[in-house]
Structure 1
Amino acid sequence: MSVATAARVRLPLPPVLMYHSISPSREPDPHRLRVHPDRLDRHLRLLRRLGLRGVSLTELVRAADRGAAAGLVGLTFDDGYTDFCDSAVPVLQRHGMTGTVYVVAGRMGGQNEWDTGPRFDIMTADQVRAVAAAGQEVGSHTMTHARLAGADPAVLAAEVGESRRVLEDVLQAEVASFCYPYGSYDQAAADAVRAAGYDNACVTGDYRPGDRVTLPRCYVSPRDTRAHVVARLARHAVRLRHASSRD
């Protein structure tokens, strides 16, 4: 099997949880992005109680390559908000876990201008380096948080390829993981991710095709209790079996 063909084969992973902002703020949150740090702490305590360990997406994928992903759960945090550095990293470290934070490379030091409503600060280059030094994975979330489905080749090259180059320049290290903003992708976008040299990429809830650059995730809402997390873990297993049975 060629490398290109292998990249398109379904990769059945354990669940991958999808967070955004981790903050104690009580400001309006119409897009349901903000999970309180205490709630994240309860979620991670639950994982430990279940005998599970949260890891970055690249660690999870490479463990799966070795047949060693049992007992792991992927933890991802979209957009690269400063509260990941301030609020999420201490909780992750307390539990001996890691995650992948997906940074909008062209908005470092800025805000989430792609959203209507509340503004969230995005990490600076120095904060991105600090997060990586703390053992967390930094992945790419494009240059501008653009929707990639239907984008022309020049846009794909800029958003997918240039964002990797920018982050690798900041980190002086490989950036292996990519995340499609809004979960918006098509075959051309997935091909652009492969061409840019990423090892893996994740979407939002789609379980097909579910290959190395279209890995599904489970959205975690600001009000999710431990029972909700258990339900999401169980639902992942059901959806994965269903998708695999249709291949």
Structure 2
Amino acid sequence: MYHSVAAYAADPYQVTVRPDRFARQMRWLRRNGLRGVSMRELVRARTEGTAGRLVGLTFDDGYADFTTNVMPVLARFGFTATVFVVAGAPGGYNAWDQPGPTKSLMTAEDVRRAADAGMEVASHGLLHRALPDVDEATLASEVDGSREAVARLAGREVDGFCYPYGKAGPREVEAVRAAGYSYACAVRPSTLDSRLAIARTYVGDRDGTARLYAKWLRHRARTARGAR
């Protein structure tokens, strides 16, 4: 689980990885015989039993640096990824993180460019709202409406959803299911439907070789316990 990849002076919410660190993290994956892929590809491979050496790479919020700083590195290593865009704010900024460093979001052109380059573009809602806190009408627009909006931006069908802040309960999972998504990403393991609340591991700017290996092992152990 990534967010932004960019140089920075302050990062109070710990959502940013420096470009050189990100490149070293991708190199670590390849050296260990792993391949970074989109969540769409990972979910399909899991169904087919061929996901053993694949790692799903996700980028929440759809920051503009995905196209400038992430995609060139992924192309260098032959990787792909999923970028979860906030459908109601193309070309905007991270209003949900204010006060804090302002980060530009992908424009409509950026979204189409990412999709054309083989990246999966998926939904992160309309306005980055915590879904358990909204009423039924707002939930429908955040889930159903955002899927339609992202599909228009990307020019492709949208398979995946990512819960803002990783917050989801049975009501939110059912809304995602009813909207026709094939998978959804949360953060922590839970007792919710595993296909619609996929646990992820946060990757940050301090994560070098040893920390990446430890997180990989911890994630495998946590998800195995959740499956049991």
* Same fold (TM > 0.5): yes
Partner of 1:153: 136
Contact 2:89 2:127 in 1 (8 A): yes
Q: Does 1:78 align with 2:60?
A: yes
- Report Cα offsets for 1:182-237 as digits up to 9, x if no partner: 01111111111111111110001224335111000000112111211111110011
Partner of 2:48: 66
Could you list the runs of 5+ residues in structure 2 that have no partner in the other structure?
none
**CA shift at 1:151, angstroms?**
2.6
Partner of 1:109: 91
Question: Which has the larger displacement, 212-221 or 151-160?
Answer: 151-160
Partner of 2:118: 135
> For the residues of structure 1 that align with 2:41 and 2:122, how far apart are their CA atoms?
12
The one of 175, 184, 187 equivalent to 2:170 is: 187
Q: What SS is found at the alignment partner of 1:68?
A: coil
RMSD: 1.1
> For the residues of structure 1 that align with 2:162 and 2:3, how far apart are their CA atoms?
12
> For the residues of structure 1 that align with 2:219 and 2:17, how far apart are their CA atoms?
21
> For the residues of structure 1 that align with 2:74 and 2:191, how far apart are their CA atoms?
30
Could you list the runs of 5+ residues in structure 1 that have no partner in the other structure?
1-17
**Larger RCO, structures 1/2 (Cα 8 Å, 6+ apart):** 1
> For the residues of structure 2 that align with 1:244 and 1:65, how far apart are their CA atoms?
15
Contact 1:140 1:177 in 2 (8 A): yes
Alignment of 1:158-177 (within 5 A): 158-177=141-160
Partner of 1:57: 39
Partner of 2:19: 37
Partner of 1:227: 210
Q: Provide TM-score, normalisation by structure 1.
A: 0.89
Q: Does 1:214 align with 2:214?
A: no
> For the residues of structure 1 that align with 2:27 and 2:165, how far apart are their CA atoms?
28
Amino acid at match of 1:137: E
Contact 1:210 1:216 in 2 (8 A): no
Partner of 2:127: 144
**CA shift at 1:244, angstroms?**
2.6
> For the residues of structure 1 that align with 2:29 and 2:145, how far apart are their CA atoms?
36
Q: Provide TM-score, normalisation by structure 2.
A: 0.96
Amino acid at match of 2:59: F
Would you say how many aligned residue pairs link Structure 1 and Structure 2? 227
> For the residues of structure 2 that align with 1:98 and 1:229, how far apart are their CA atoms?
19
Contact 1:183 1:204 in 2 (8 A): yes
